Amino acid sequence: MAEPTEDPQITFTQIDVDLDVQEILLAASQHDFAKLRQLVRTQSQLPDAANVKDPETGYSPLHSAIAACEPETDDKTNGAATVDPDVLKSGIATVKLLLQEGAIWNDLDNNDETPGCLARRIGALELYELIVDAGVRAEMLMNRLDGYEELSEDENEDEEQEAKTEEEPETAPELVDASEQETAPTDAPANPQVSNRGYLDSNLTIEQDRILDSDQNGVMMEWEREIMRKSAAKLLPTPGLKVLNIGHGMGIVDGFLQEKAPASHHIIEAHADVVAEMKKRGWDSKPGVVIHEGRWQDILPALVENGETFDAIYYDTFAESYADFRDFFSEQVIGLLEQEGKWGFFNGMGADRQISYDVYQKVAEMDLFEAGFDVEWEDIPVPKLEGEWEGVRRAYWVVDNYRLPLCRFMD
Ligand SMILES: C[S@@+](CC[C@H](N)C(=O)[O-])C[C@H]1O[C@@H](n2cnc3c(N)ncnc32)[C@H](O)[C@@H]1O
């Protein structure tokens, strides 16, 4: 209910708005398709009617429509509550309408749940899939728009460059730093504000079972060992192959790769503390090992120019954006991977929420396809990690299964 104010005009308007909001949320929760369509399209005076919020629950119309599908607790089949098929049908129509009208797929309610989280929790899996697909569309579009932004900034800078006086030294045009804009970094998404360059300038705490950055974000942790073991086994099934690993971290995957006795083993590592530690541990004198100190962005073009090729490549960096990762596989891998070679990456995109993980798997799959790669996924159960996060700024992994990717050139 609106607080009374001195100005009767404001009070009147506020009450109108509150009533509109409640009417939209009610129509969504009743799956009243005709009324909802009328409200969100024309009748309501609200500027963003498909995204209004209930002040008490934080529910958006999408939350309301999905919550209304929750089965009664005593309506059980084989011990599990199932969504009533008729309610589900009207729920699907309502959710589709809201998405068409611009409802935000990942808005949070006061319980820290997105509409998709809610759908998954109540077992409305068809609704969950609708929201995942909406997320994929939204993220693909956003990634494309970021690309255009980079391009137009670049063009502007070209023009500015031309206009510069001759005495000024030439500097490389700087692109938009997408790492601060994107939502799904490829590894431990410490927090979206951690940029790769900021990370590389920070001091690390390197312990036996973890590496933390200066803000206590987990860079690499021992619990990932099994994932690294399986990734190395898939990439190097036999001895005598040539392998490239990008991001040494705790050296776990490099340890497993070494066990496969590769003919050559190149490692790119950009953080000075990690490079110092790997030398202390004798990595520079292991068989076949070539260490490249620096960012892959600077090292890989020279490797391509020298004609180096690999049977296997692994990519696991930190504080990089999805755009960096996409650049890696769409620009660099083609020049480095043998025709029959395989490559993989640490698949940690969006792993702090199941729906984000599912959305980013599909986004990556589509971009990989566009770049000319097939990808196979293998699910690996991740043990409960509750005790692991002590002293770590935030749990970057909450999903139950790790999806291990193995990529090859398309036939
Ligand atoms: C998650 S750790 C890698 C863990 C490794 N897979 C393991 O098994 O221990 C990420 C590593 O990538 C490095 N790194 C971050 N950005 C990089 C970049 N642009 N180029 C090369 N290495 C980078 C970090 O310094 C860090 O050592």
How remote is the CA of residue 128 from the centroid of ligand 1, in Å? 33
210-212 and 218-221: which strand pairing?
antiparallel
Atom 10 (ligand 1): residue with closest C-alpha? 317
Q: Domain-by-domain residue ranges, the chain?
A: 8-136, 196-409
Which residue's CA is the nearest one to ligand 1's atom 5?
A: 249
Range with lowest mean pLDDT among 163-177, 178-192, 221-235, 277-291:
163-177
Between 162 and 386, name the one with better pLDDT. 386
In this structure, of 116-130, 157-171, 395-409, the range with the lowest mean pLDDT score is: 157-171
Mean pLDDT of 76-97: 86
The chain-wide mean pLDDT, for the chain, equals: 87
> Would you say residue 363 has pLDDT above 60?
yes
With a Cβ cut-off of 6 Å, ligand 1 is lined by: 187, 196, 219-220, 228, 246-253, 268-271, 274, 295-296, 316-318, 320
80-81 vs 76-77, strand pairing mode: antiparallel
**pLDDT interval class at 43 (50, 70, 90):** low
| Mean pLDDT within 257-285 | 98
**Probe ligand 1: pick from 221, 224, 225, 248, max atoms within 8 Å of CB?**
248
* For ligand 1, atom 2: residue with the closest CA: 249
Residue 189's pLDDT is 40
Residue 247 CA: which ligand 1 atom is closest? 12
- State how far the Cα of 31 lies from the Cα of 101, in Å rounded to an integer: 15
Which residue's CA is minimally distant from atom 27 of ligand 1? 249
Fold of 8-136: 1.25.40
CA distances from 389 to 12, 203, 211, 355 (A): 50, 20, 12, 21
In the structure encoding, which two tokens stand for residue 190, read together? 């410490």
CB 189 within 8 A of CB 352: yes
Q: For atom 13 of ligand 1, which residue has the closest CA?
A: 247
User: Is the pLDDT at 53 greater than 50, yes or no?
Assistant: yes
Question: Would you identify the CATH topology of the domain 196-409?
Answer: Rossmann fold (3.40.50)
Contact 24, 49 (CB under 8 A): yes
Per-residue confidence (pLDDT) for residue 246, from 0 to 100: 98
Which residue's CA lies nearest to atom 19 of ligand 1?
Answer: 295
pLDDT at 161 over 60: no
